Structure 1
Amino acid sequence: MAGVAAAVALGAPAMAHVEVEADHPQAGAREVTVTFHGEAESPRAGIRSERVVLPPGISPQDVRLAKAPSGWKLSANPDGFTVAGPALKVGQNAVWAITVAQLPSNTTELPFKTLETYSDGAVARWIEIPQAGQPEPDNPAPVLKLTPAAAVPTSASPAPSSAARAPSSPEATHGPTAAAKSTGSKGLWISLIAVAVLVAAILASLRWRRRSRR
């Protein structure tokens, strides 16, 4: 009769909940510690296990135990995990935590359906997902609220074009006109020197001829 009474009590509208929180509640975050608080509601038995169904985007291989009551261990299930061990004292809440390798990046809500088993075999099923705009269900599943994933840059900044780069030579600084002027000036000086040499040679030749006639 005591077991039946406990089962009936646990099937009644919820007076306690399983709550969930995270140290970095952001979509796409890595190595996040997710902590659960299972409130003890039975006046006769203590909690002995917590079975959690993982939300889409998180597999049992992605989690490891971070914290649990003394003697409790984590075991993987096809759709989640179970933490279990010696039954807690009557009225003692169950607190446990897992580390998730990476949270899904395409959602801002993660429901963790939880089945809470007591030492007398009674099970509290926190599996109903709350709906926006609707009253809270009798047995709500804990839902972790996330902030949106961090924005990812679409592409690297384009490299400056050759036309926009800083000049690296006098010709680049002053442009092609200045370079042409410099080349023209050098050519003019070379021509003048050549003419001067030619005139000097002619004058020397004339002087030599005059001396030879005397």
Structure 2
Amino acid sequence: MSLSSVCRRAAAVTAGAVALTIGLALPALAHVSINPGTAEQGGFTKVAFRVPNERDNASTEKVEVEFPTDHPLPFVSVKPVPGWDVKVVTGKLPKPVTTEYGEITEAVTKVTWSGGKIGPSQFQEFEVSMGMLPKDTDQLTFPTTQTYTGGEVVKWADPPKADGSEADRPVPTLRLTPSTGGDEHGAGAASPSATATVAAHESEAAKPAAQASSSDGTARLLGGAGLLAGVVGVVVGVLGLRRGGRAS
């Protein structure tokens, strides 16, 4: 086998592996999701609702995120997104919820972004700082409605299927893990000290959500480099065997 044939085969293997990696990642990127997808119970967090545009002939023009009322979040703030208007709706809860920080009778129930556009093959992240996260549940769900310029409305609100597999339009879910103690405090929800704690936590939580995306890209880049290095090693090994055979 000639050197050129070996190189062509190595290039084909590399291209196929890269295409397979990208193909496996696409389904996850097509869903509305929360990034990062986990946070500690009892603390504050900053998340980004990542909304991809799935249509080739329309743009996303409105995104509505419903907040839980069975586990309400007393403190919610949003980061401005250039070109988008945001409306935070606060309403009375169906029934008061008693927490360690006091009784909550009203909370943020919905956040709506509108007026902007997410074009074909694009996505947008909408950042929210929120807390205090409940300690009596291991997840919070945020049903999301995506509206396109052509009038199509897509509801991302499906729970996992009975067999545990992912639904067609899965509801964005934030997984909650036991607290390590760093975010816990004893201040009441309505006290001045609680207000100061909120500001401190929101400042700490204000790390760019793009870091998660950057980490993903770095991991994929390193994985691709490793794959290419492996292919080069195979080529060098084949050439070494051929030279060794000729020498003998």
Alignment TM class, shorter chain as reference: 0.5 to 0.7
Residue number in structure 1 paired with 2:66: 53
Q: Tell me: higher relative CO, structure 1 or 2? Use CA pairs within 8 A at least 6 residues apart.
A: 2
The 8 Å contact of residues 69 and 94 in structure 1, kept in 2 or not, is answered as: no
Residue number in structure 2 paired with 1:17: 31
Cα deviation digits, residues 153-201 of structure 1 (max 9, x gap): xxxxxxxxxxxxxxxxxxxxxxxxxxxxxxxxxxxxxxxxxxxxxxxxx
Q: Note closer, same or farther for the CA distance 1:24–1:134 as it changes in structure 2 (3 Å cut).
A: closer
Q: Does 1:105 align with 2:135?
A: yes
Percent identity, aligned pairs only, is: 27
Residue number in structure 1 paired with 2:173: 143
Give the alignment's Cα RMSD to 1 decimal.
3.0
The 8 Å contact of residues 107 and 148 in structure 1, kept in 2 or not, is answered as: no
Residue number in structure 2 paired with 1:126: 156
User: Offset at 1:92?
Assistant: 1.8
Supply the AA of the counterpart residue of 1:36.
F
User: Offset at 1:124?
Assistant: 1.2
Distance 1:113 1:71 in 2: 20
Q: Note closer, same or farther for the CA distance 1:15–1:65 as it changes in structure 2 (3 Å cut).
A: closer
Matched length: 139
Distance 1:96 1:29 in 2: 20
User: Offset at 1:104?
Assistant: 1.3
Q: Does 1:29 align with 2:23?
A: no
Q: Paired residue for 2:145, among 100, 115, 118?
A: 115
Where in structure 2 are the equivalents of 1:189-204 lying within 5 Å? none
Residue number in structure 1 paired with 2:121: 91
Q: Paired residue for 1:38, among 16, 28, 51?
A: 51
Distance 2:29 2:86 in 1: 27
Q: Note closer, same or farther for the CA distance 1:77–1:137 as it changes in structure 2 (3 Å cut).
A: farther
Q: Note closer, same or farther for the CA distance 1:146–1:15 as it changes in structure 2 (3 Å cut).
A: closer
Q: Note closer, same or farther for the CA distance 1:16–1:23 as it changes in structure 2 (3 Å cut).
A: closer
Unaligned runs of at least 5 residues, structure 2: 1-27, 92-108, 185-248
User: Offset at 1:64?
Assistant: 1.4
TM normalised by structure 2 equals: 0.49
Distance 1:40 1:150 in 2: 37
User: Offset at 1:75?
Assistant: 3.0
Residue number in structure 1 paired with 2:13: none
User: Offset at 1:26?
Assistant: 0.5
Structure with greater strand percent: 2
The 8 Å contact of residues 48 and 85 in structure 1, kept in 2 or not, is answered as: yes
TM normalised by structure 1 equals: 0.56
Supply the AA of the counterpart residue of 1:123.
V
Structure with greater helix percent: 2
User: Offset at 1:141?
Assistant: 0.5
Q: Note closer, same or farther for the CA distance 1:103–1:35 as it changes in structure 2 (3 Å cut).
A: same
Distance 2:133 2:145 in 1: 22
Q: Which runs of 4+ in 1 moved over 6 A?
A: none
Supply the AA of the counterpart residue of 1:58.
P
Unaligned runs of at least 5 residues, structure 1: 1-13, 153-214
User: Offset at 1:137?
Assistant: 1.4
Cα deviation digits, residues 114-155 of structure 1 (max 9, x gap): 111111111111001225742221111011112113468xxx
The 8 Å contact of residues 48 and 88 in structure 1, kept in 2 or not, is answered as: yes
